[in-house]
Structure 1
């Protein structure tokens, strides 16, 4: 039975959460306090990290590992890009995929669109399916053909990211739902990662520009971080993650990690991870949208 919709902002707290937050951002009412106040009202375990243009950082409940789910595909895409670049492999290199390699029950728009016995897809197409549509088969083909899980972990650590682990592919997580907990990060790790991708020269320009454009045209999670930005001139590149429901039917591992570019040229990175929720999926996604709106309005108000 669908639970009755209600205003998330009007919720009274039904659970006690340990809040850990740090910020150096100036203001009478700090972003930290606004986010902390909001999170305390929610019957959900929520972690948040925001990195502002001047490198000031706000973290709420960051000292805790959150299952990545498909946010892992952002980490993978960056490792795939590194492998292509090192090998001198063009991003439009075609891979032949036998249909029997594809998992038939997992989420896969790629499999449903391409019905031929042998699929001929460019690496760029696989990355688009994985990042824009969160396609599980595309993700596993990239692990199998381009760069493995260990190599993915190694590359991400080499560019300075800590407090994360990637141990399972999509096939393993489908077969054993507990494996989702083996791919984890702290919210700040994810925020630092996407911030690096959008602000530092990590890869050669054609590769890096492709990743940024692909994330900027993400098709999943429109009711999460992008929702309050839809009628603004802000541009958001983001990657979502969605876990399996709990035995009681509640959403778990509902995440979104994004980089927002504002019309005045300023920008910020934001990561929101909801490990567990006592609400419907619609209401849980609204929590992420509310956090996105609080952050966007605050930073607009205090823009210099």
Structure 2
């Protein structure tokens, strides 16, 4: 009997990791199948923040960042707040010159400029509303994209490149390609942010709140998830050129699972000729497959 029990125990030791690998393989196959329906390059990185179970699909491919860059920009700004070089209550004077025509709820509210807006509120506009003018105003406060790049390197993140502002990208179609990231590296950044390794406890909570309040991309990561699922995320979207090419349809973030655990996920759809609904559906389907897997 003891030999039988020992044999069963030994068998279970081998079967449990095999089953886990098989399940992960099933998720990888699902992601690959969804990605292949896209007329573009799909990059995915998924990480169980408690289990540390991870997988990637084109995870080390350089893909266009677009407004996902506002997450590392916000981290840089809040790092400077933690360092005492900036204050959340610090007011920034905004002139009409600071508000060029682009996607900007800030500009919609103050079309003539001539107002003082706090760093706190600019961060809210930039992150939760993906405001382009607020982004560039904050970049000016920290001496440009180089400050963000330097901070990423300081954190050990070498797979994220931020070299162009929103105004730069608006001036030239090709410049958007100078801002890129590897999905795996974005997930590493999400992970260290979530663990509180980047910012103070107060500013980690503040940025998480802003990410949770994101209004853009409701049909991407959140698109197929159960109503009420908490998703702290940042989207990125390019324009579409005359040939029907869209360099970036992205969404990255941290999803709270029904079991109380969390999943970091980064999904990038790059250089696609699909329509927007199809591109967003790819992200939503991948997020739902990962959500189901990590909820078990």
TM-score, normalised to structure 2's length? 0.88
Q: Larger Rg: 1 or 2?
A: 2
Deviates more, 1:265-274 or 1:88-97: 88-97
Q: Is 1:191 the counterpart of 2:187 in the alignment?
A: yes
Structure 2 vs 1, CA of residues 25 and 158 (structure 1 numbering), >3 Å: closer, same or farther?
farther
Confirm or deny: 8 A CA contact 1:246 1:252 kept in the other structure: no
In structure 2, distance between residues paired with 1:229 and 1:175 = 37
Structure 2 vs 1, CA of residues 147 and 264 (structure 1 numbering), >3 Å: closer, same or farther?
farther
Deviates more, 1:71-80 or 1:33-42: 33-42
In structure 2, distance between residues paired with 1:247 and 1:117 = 33
In structure 2, distance between residues paired with 1:251 and 1:214 = 27
Which residue of the other structure, out of 261, 265, 269, is the alignment partner of 1:266? Answer: 261
Confirm or deny: 8 A CA contact 1:164 1:185 kept in the other structure: yes
How is 1:80-159 mapped onto 2 (pairs within 5 angstroms)?
A: 80-87=77-84, 89-103=86-100, 105-159=101-155
In structure 1, distance between residues paired with 2:62 and 2:293 = 27
Q: Is 1:180 the counterpart of 2:200 in the alignment?
A: no
Partner of residue 273, structure 2 = 278
Q: Is 1:252 the counterpart of 2:247 in the alignment?
A: yes
Partner of residue 12, structure 1 = none
Structure 2 vs 1, CA of residues 147 and 207 (structure 1 numbering), >3 Å: closer, same or farther?
farther
Confirm or deny: 8 A CA contact 1:71 1:241 kept in the other structure: yes
Structure 2 vs 1, CA of residues 43 and 249 (structure 1 numbering), >3 Å: closer, same or farther?
closer
Confirm or deny: 8 A CA contact 1:197 1:212 kept in the other structure: no
Q: Which has the higher helix share?
A: 2
Q: Is 1:67 the counterpart of 2:67 in the alignment?
A: no
Partner of residue 213, structure 1 = 209
- Residue 256 of structure 1 deviates from its aligned partner by 0.5
- Alignment coverage as a number of residue pairs: 276
TM-score, normalised to structure 1's length? 0.86
Confirm or deny: 8 A CA contact 1:69 1:183 kept in the other structure: yes
- What do the CA deviations read for 1:63-119 (whole angstroms, capped 9, x no partner)? 32101000111110001111122125331221111122221x211111011234412
Partner of residue 294, structure 1 = 289
Structure 2 vs 1, CA of residues 298 and 273 (structure 1 numbering), >3 Å: closer, same or farther?
same
Partner of residue 15, structure 1 = none
Unaligned runs of 5+ in 2: 1-18
Structure 2 vs 1, CA of residues 188 and 116 (structure 1 numbering), >3 Å: closer, same or farther?
same
Confirm or deny: 8 A CA contact 1:91 1:207 kept in the other structure: no
- Residue 132 of structure 1 deviates from its aligned partner by 1.1
- Residue 147 of structure 1 deviates from its aligned partner by 4.4
In structure 2, distance between residues paired with 1:273 and 1:38 = 13
Unaligned runs of 5+ in 1: 1-23
Which residue of the other structure, out of 34, 37, 45, is the alignment partner of 1:38? Answer: 34
In structure 2, distance between residues paired with 1:75 and 1:172 = 18
In structure 1, distance between residues paired with 2:195 and 2:89 = 24
In structure 1, distance between residues paired with 2:226 and 2:233 = 14
Cα RMSD for the two superposed structures: 1.7
In structure 2, distance between residues paired with 1:216 and 1:167 = 26
- Residue 149 of structure 1 deviates from its aligned partner by 1.3
Confirm or deny: 8 A CA contact 2:61 2:182 kept in the other structure: yes
